[in-house]
Amino acid sequence: MSRWNRILAVIFSFLIALGSLLMILMFLSEDIMSAMIAFLLRIQKISGWRGSVVVTSILLFIVALVALLLTIMTGRLHKARVRSSNLGDVDIGVDAIESIALNAANNAQAGVKSVKARVAPKDGDNIMVSLNITSYPDVEIPAMMTKVQERVKKDVERYTGIQVAEVPIKVSQVETVSARIER
């Protein structure tokens, strides 16, 4: 998500939180509800304020719609990546790309116990494949990450024809060695 999209989302979230807090206070106290209604009636009677409140409300509505659309459009890769050939179109689904990345990470023979993959759009037609890995103990993590990154990038590009811009990896856990108790 770009910087402006995040700023817009933060502003929108702040306004929603502020409005929700005001609604809670109004329904908890009749005095606050009465004061708010009186305030809104005074604003409605002053023609200069009425116009500015309407314009502000329209702007807030537009910001809400833009935030909603940006959240929907940038949160996840489109349903499929379409490749055209002389025989027709080939739709490659996000789940298929994630499965290829999972298989590549598991088959890299780099000490990966379990892995979760997430595909997101990157610059242009490129994609980013993010991996969350649990590794086995006694694994040299930097070397393992490099090996997995190279294998995932190579396999996804080979099998789908889609360029992979980057493969960020987060090693979230190293599996512990448990002592075996013999009886």
pTM of full prediction above 0.85:
no
Q: What CA–CA distance (Å, rounded) separates 35 from 41?
A: 10
**Residue spans of alpha helices (H) in the chain:** 3-28, 30-45, 47-74, 94-106, 141-160
SS3 80: strand
Average pLDDT over residues 160-173: 89
Helix (H) or strand (E) holding 133: strand 127-135
Tokens standing for residue 3 = 């910087």
Average pLDDT over residues 111-125: 83
Mean pLDDT across the chain: 81
Cβ neighbours, 10 Å, residue 20: 10
